[in-house]
Structure 1
Amino acid sequence: MILLLFVLSLLGTIYCKQTTLVLVDTLATRETHSIFLKSLQERGHDVTVKSADDPSLQITKYGEHIYNNLVILSPGVEEFGGSLSLEAIVEFIDEGGNVLIAGSSETTDLIRELGTEVGVEMDEEGAMVIDHLNYDVHDKGQHSLIAAPNSGLINSAEMVGKPNGSPLLYRGTGLITDPDNPLVLPVLKAASSAYCHTPSQAIVEYPHATGQNMLLVAALQARNNARVVVSGSLEFFSDAFILSSVQTAEGKVYKTSGNGPVVEALSRWVFKEEGVLRVVSVSHHIAGEKEPPPSYTIKDDVEYSIAIERLVGGSWVPFQAPDLQMEFVRIDPFVRLTLKPSSTGLFSIGFKVPDVYGVYQFKVEYNRIGFTRLFSSTQVAVRPFTHTEYESSALNVFNDLASPRNLVI
């Protein structure tokens, strides 16, 4: 029995282990980005590092994905090797795969086109983010070694963790997204004084990307909950930037940059180690009963509950939220109520069925920044009263029969 439990535990561990393919321009990236890669391995990822033009590259085999995640640290690749292609990566995302992409000021058209496929446009080749106010003193005069204020980070602990208060070092190109696209999230915005341009060229026309309309890091959570992170800087994830101290142009000195905590948290998020929700169970029944009826009757008192869990540190724990709502829908919502949370992750509510019969759905939909989209729908029928279920129906019939006008003398 003990052996059986051990085997099942081992199988569960193997099943939960994530496989991650890392593509690089040169194998030297394993050394320059060792902290980032080591953190993946320490969190249980089976990491495979290959050159982006390796002729043996493939992410699917016999119609199944070989990897859960794809990391592209190769902004200079002109063409992927093997069977890997732009179309294959897009299909990988469409089928739920997660991707992290790092660019640079020399990003090739291939990586630029991949960014466009996920709603993120990288500025033209050679362009770098420049900020004459927010730069590190180690900059070589172009003011392209940005010390980005952490106030530009998205307000989501699930995505960026708890920043240490230090600026984030960044050297690379700017990103542009459609602000009306609800699926693309601004992870790190540039400061209002920043712009993107080729440093060696004079500015003749107004820069394409400027101020807080320009992003340094962007993220996409697709409708199928696949996640993509795009950074315009490969160095953002490097050991040098993670370990470096920061001294701003104003003279403020920070022992370490803010890159480390953000890179750790962001990689957890994009690979679905954080911010993942799941429905455990759904229950509904007439008040005072335990099992759902074949159908409800108009004006029934109904009790509804849903149990939800959240993934934290590799374990599922009860989810807590004060703003989860349930709708009772027949084409349009007839009832919309905020569910009452509990410490066990069980959300519940009681309500009266509307006085309109038909086919309804108990519907719960929860969309919040940093979390996977949660959706639950349970269909039920609501019927009208039968002729014997109307209030006082039997008494009315008796009164009618016993009324004086119906008596025969």
Structure 2
Amino acid sequence: MARQLFFALGLLAILGLASAGKRVLVLLPNVNEAEKYSKFFGSLRDAGFDVTFKGVRDSSLKLKEYGTWLYDDLVLFAPKSEGFGGSVDQQTILDFVDSGHNVLLAVNTDVSEALRNLAAEFGVDVDDRGSKVFDHFNHATLDGQEDHTLIAAGDLVDAPVMVGGPYKEPVLFRGVASTIPGDSELATVVLGAPSTAYSFVKSGVQEPPTLMVGSAISLVTAVQARNNARMVVAGSLDMFTDKFFDALVTVNGASSHTANWAFTVTLARWAFQDRGVLVASNLRHHLLGSDEQPWGYRVNDDVEFLVDVVEVEGGVSKPYVADDIQLEFIMLNPYIRQPLQHDGKGTFSLRFKVPDVYGVFKYFVDYSHRGYSYIKLTHQVPVRPFKHNEYERFLTCAYPYYASAISVMLAFFGLGFFFLYNK
């Protein structure tokens, strides 16, 4: 009976993970434009997402009702919009992210100030309205027309869990550039511009040289907040269209299809926490030779720490395998910091000797690997000194003191004997 109950609870937990993050709200200038992205949203539906389309200015628009979020993920495909309908505004979207939900934002060269400000809140600086990314060396020819703003990009982040790949075909991009601060710890350039690209505003007025050139340009940026909420800011709306999915382009004389379909769908699934999600559970520790978890330890005890880590993809859990998860045993400062060993089945463990320092320690696991959700675990445990009856009868370190005491006694008796029996 207990085994059946455990199995039922585990199944419910897996189903809960599988159903989490499935309700997606898509905001468009008008719902009829959804046809331009039919393959993209069709792939999301095939992955199990419940996609709802609404106009960005819909008066009935709302993300939250009676304290409950109505959606798990938000897609913004309305770059020209200066505001939102209903009860949605920038602060509502930020609260949506703060509560652990995800946002996919795609803009273009006509990006509004409102969406530029929203992207800035995510830590991504989108270039000025009207600017475009140009490349006179790595551009593509589409439908027989050469377009220097149609970038054939291939500089993908080295994180297959985020973007899939590597791809032999180029990812087509036509839109606006972005940058991220150099000291940013949360943002990642998912798709970088070629070294020959630059951002520029074409106008009749002579413009000063742009400072946004080459590797400084981010075409697609991903941000994972500290609460594991995910945001993606794409500078091109066209890259999600059926036209770019089916395009046959010519780059430097070579013809090929594009990788836009695989790239955008994989990235969207990652953004909606359908990929790259780590779940840590069953933290435990015990003395070597015992299976019971004690209330605390004695200095110099030999202990073992264990934790289970699984990767969830598409609602299916599988053991996570990595060599870079570390355990720290901390009292103000780490006394022990060592990598955990894995058994290939999702269990990570470490055997170590408790330091010869007593006090309140804590186990601490702080794991962040690009493309995966963060793991932060803490568990407090006291460490006590030896009791008076737990020491050895004679301590090796005390031999000099034993010798000095014995020498004093011998000297006393020798002096007394000499005083009493010597005239």
TM-score, with structure 2 as normaliser: 0.88
The structure-2 alpha-carbon separation of the partners of 1:70 and 1:348, relative to structure 1 and needing over 3 Å to count, comes to same
- Output the CA distance in 1 between the equivalents of 2:136 and 2:190: 22
User: Does 264-273 or 383-392 show the bigger shift?
Assistant: 383-392
- Output the CA distance in 1 between the equivalents of 2:98 and 2:157: 25
Choose from 130, 135, 143 the match for 2:148. Answer: 143
Map 1:9-408 onto structure 2 (within 5 A).
Answer: 12=15, 15-16=19-20, 18-138=22-142, 143-148=148-153, 150=154, 152-201=155-204, 203-248=206-251, 250-254=252-256, 256-392=257-393
The structure-2 alpha-carbon separation of the partners of 1:279 and 1:53, relative to structure 1 and needing over 3 Å to count, comes to same
Greater Rg over alpha carbons, structure: 2
**1:166 is matched by which residue type in structure 2?**
E
Q: Displacement of 1:391 after TM fit?
A: 2.1
Q: Is the 8 A contact 1:17 1:44 kept in 2?
A: no
Q: Displacement of 1:27 after TM fit?
A: 2.2
Q: Is the 8 A contact 1:17 1:46 kept in 2?
A: no
- Output the CA distance in 2 between the equivalents of 1:238 and 1:253: 20
Q: Is the 8 A contact 1:147 1:246 kept in 2?
A: no
Q: Displacement of 1:97 after TM fit?
A: 0.8
**1:91 is matched by which residue type in structure 2?**
D
**1:153 is matched by which residue type in structure 2?**
L
- Output the CA distance in 2 between the equivalents of 1:335 and 1:31: 57
Q: Displacement of 1:200 after TM fit?
A: 4.2
**2:139 is matched by which residue type in structure 1?**
Y
Q: Is the 8 A contact 2:14 2:317 kept in 1?
A: no
The structure-2 alpha-carbon separation of the partners of 1:178 and 1:260, relative to structure 1 and needing over 3 Å to count, comes to same
Q: Is the 8 A contact 2:141 2:147 kept in 1?
A: no
- Output the CA distance in 1 between the equivalents of 2:394 and 2:272: 62
Gaps of 5+ in 2: 2-7, 414-423
Q: Displacement of 1:28 after TM fit?
A: 3.0
- Output the CA distance in 2 between the equivalents of 1:260 and 1:351: 48
Post-superposition CA distance 1:143-174 (Å, at most 9, x none):
111111x1x11000110011331111111111
- Output the CA distance in 2 between the equivalents of 1:179 and 1:368: 19
Structure 2 residue matching 1:137: 3-state secondary structure: strand
- Output the CA distance in 2 between the equivalents of 1:394 and 1:31: 83
- Output the CA distance in 2 between the equivalents of 1:324 and 1:16: 26
**2:45 is matched by which residue type in structure 1?**
Q
Structure 1 residue matching 2:293: 3-state secondary structure: coil
Structure 1 residue matching 2:105: 3-state secondary structure: strand
Post-superposition CA distance 1:85-131 (Å, at most 9, x none):
01100111111110000000001111111111101111111111111
- Output the CA distance in 1 between the equivalents of 2:328 and 2:316: 29
Post-superposition CA distance 1:39-90 (Å, at most 9, x none):
1111111111001010000000111110000000110112100000011001
Post-superposition CA distance 1:305-335 (Å, at most 9, x none):
1111111232111111012111101011001
Post-superposition CA distance 1:2-31 (Å, at most 9, x none):
xxx8xx879947844610000001223211
The structure-2 alpha-carbon separation of the partners of 1:201 and 1:307, relative to structure 1 and needing over 3 Å to count, comes to farther
The structure-2 alpha-carbon separation of the partners of 1:196 and 1:202, relative to structure 1 and needing over 3 Å to count, comes to farther
The structure-2 alpha-carbon separation of the partners of 1:394 and 1:341, relative to structure 1 and needing over 3 Å to count, comes to closer
TM-score, with structure 1 as normaliser: 0.91
Structure 2 residue matching 1:143: 3-state secondary structure: strand
Percent of pairs with identical residues: 37
Structure 2 residue matching 1:28: 3-state secondary structure: helix
**1:253 is matched by which residue type in structure 2?**
S
Q: Is the 8 A contact 1:123 1:208 kept in 2?
A: no
Structure 1 residue matching 2:194: 3-state secondary structure: coil
- Output the CA distance in 1 between the equivalents of 2:228 and 2:288: 35
Aligned residues: 395
Q: Displacement of 1:188 after TM fit?
A: 0.6
The structure-2 alpha-carbon separation of the partners of 1:257 and 1:203, relative to structure 1 and needing over 3 Å to count, comes to farther
**2:351 is matched by which residue type in structure 1?**
G
